[in-house]
Structure 1
Amino acid sequence: MTPSRRPAALLAAALAALACAHAPAGSSGAGPARATGAPAAPWWKGAVFYEVFVRSFADSDGDGKGDLRGLTAKLDYLNDGDPATATDLGVDAIWLMPVFASPSYHGYDVTDYLKVNPDYGTEADLDRLIAEAHRRGVRVVLDLVLNHTSDQHPWFRESASSRTSPRRDWYVWRADDPGWTQPWNPSQAAWYRRGGEWYYAIFWSGMPDLNYRNPAVREEAKRIAAHWLGKGVDGFRLDAIRHLVETGPGAGQSGSQENHVFLRELAAAVRAGKPDAVLVGEVWSETDDIARYYGDGKDELQLLFDFPLAKAIVEGVDAGDGGFTAHVLREVAAAYPPGAVDAPFLTNHDQFRVATQLANDAGKLRLAAAILLTLPGAPFVYYGEELGMQNGPGREDEWKRTPMPWDRSEQGGFTRGDPWMPLGPGHESANVAVESSDPGSLLSRYRALVRARKGSAALARGDAVPLSTPGSALAYVRRVEGETVLVVHNMGAGPLEIGGLEAPGAVAEAVFVDPGAALVRDGTGWRVVLPPRASGVWRVR
């Protein structure tokens, strides 16, 4: 197929950046040393996070359910603590989906915020996990579900027991049914009757919403956070924070200003207790709405999942069009406050896995990985994503959270017993044992990309300037003081050539390049050549 050619004007925005970027002579590529007296970047800026569903990661006792001891035994797979090795994934932090006591498999209906789910082990097991993770330089973030509890939580039982209960106002009650429905599902009610009155539960009747207009509830949330910070936890992923305080039906059930008031209060308390703790927010919404939860960039949350960007990456890779992703990157730059750090990802526990969305296409999965791990911010990888794990055969959430395949055996090395859920399709080939020994596997690619990111200050912590490259190209410049890298992805099924990049006297050094990718001299400028669905990252000085 004849390569498509792009005129020099399409990358004009890059030229000034490339021409003026001068790294110190003899730079090793690890990025310049921080200037004396300059503040250190927070640990989470540029960190690679790994989302773990403990129930599905590794089972230590053969009961078919993953547990904390199993996860601890597998920490070396995530990061062995030795930067010189290349057999671990190299992540900087792990986010544990809920590990508190709960009657459900998923744990988002908590019955005790201070007790570890017995299915997963004991508080001592969690203490050991945190200690072993820290010994390897890995931070631990807990999922903190503040919007609601289980209806089996002692607080709700007490609240529902009497209209005069001391905890009656810990939840949202009224004498009549106002008829509100879920804002995303108008056919599903949001008010439920108990004891002659109605309580509010936006997700379902078994998860009643807490009342954050009550100061006692706000103080309890801060006390719970302080407890776990005192145990060594490094931060929290905050679930469903658009829905903390509702003001009315429909639009009033999401994004009220009172949400922000409480989150600023919580953030101040967390930072007072542990200044470097991170708060990661789930705001499943559009870019402008997500941006509001950063506050002024310093007083609310530090990281927010970028749902529009995730959608743009996956759909763009599938369609072979870089414009989707470039558009959202520009939206983010315009909407987010100064200092805000994005949290890009591909899919999470509520979505069909990226391997399923991309029809298990190896080239597309390799491309999606390269885009995710060369973007600015703090990227999140969903467990098994690095293997190409596919969804199970059903649409229920359980099929998005099946056991991690460690080898090609029937139980996938996950358990000695019967796994709580069947392993996903294709686990016989998409597993850790097979892919670890294959330098061309998706796992090997993730490992290499994480290491490339760590070896470049610009990739890890730099800003991003998207370039105007219509069609199958996606290109951006990543910069920090003293280092500039040019990132180019070919989203298409055919080869790509971009010519006429004028950067006189510049020297290019490969940071991460796929076979056949090249940045070469072309008369007075540069020419980028990329095979189908290939990526190239070059340091320019």
Structure 2
Amino acid sequence: MNPLCRLALFLFLTATQVGAEAMLQYFNTSWRELTRKIPEIAEAGYQSLWIPPPTKAGGVFSVGYDLFDRFDLGSKDQKGSVRTRYGTEPELLNLIQIAHRFGIRVYFDAIMNHNGFDVPGYNEAVPEDLYPGFLPGDFHLRTTAEGFYRKWDNTRDWGSEWQVQNLGLSGLIDIATEPGAANRNHGGFEGENSTKPVYLRHPENPEYYCYIPSGPGQTHAANEGIYVGFGADNGVTRSFLQLNESFYEEIVEDML
């Protein structure tokens, strides 16, 4: 066998030995049912699961892509129910625990481009803080002469980078995820810039924060300070958030 053939055989055998992680996409079923299937999934040879968005969306029948609250995994009475379409937060956590016990990784669809269909501040009856942790300035929105907000068009030309990044998708409200302090499509005309709001986004939920300041000039968004973990027992309180508001203030992409 000539040297090139030997090299090709060696590379082929090496590649086949390494292998790739076998992932199973498992949508449109409850967390409970999926948990019951974990032994079968492991026996079939899958090493990972891809599950749908686990967060609270537009309602109990929503599959999860018209997102409402990223911090609600089925534990808050919002949008008509406590559970999501797929179940409650304890059921989701149990699914992940059982999957890990069988050596299966769990990946979920993370929706970072948009929220739901509703517009904050659409009229006098719709609050500007409609989406928890968001204000109108966090979205690509058109302002009206009356001081209300409207969505822009959906992307008209998919060959236009600017439109893809700054216009809508399927009527969903588009988040200003572009880096920096400028919202590149917010105002009275398409393409008008505005300054993204910077504020303490979850003053009633200290369990959402995992750092405390240890020196001047630090910010939670930069993962600075002392790590204390998430959860109700992390020592962070509502009053502590208020006293250290500048440390916990964020622009929208820092929260995401």
TM-score normalized with structure 1 length: 0.25
TM-score normalized with structure 2 length: 0.49
Task: Please state which structure has a larger fraction of its residues in strand.
Answer: 1
Higher relative contact order (CA 8 A, sep 6+): 1
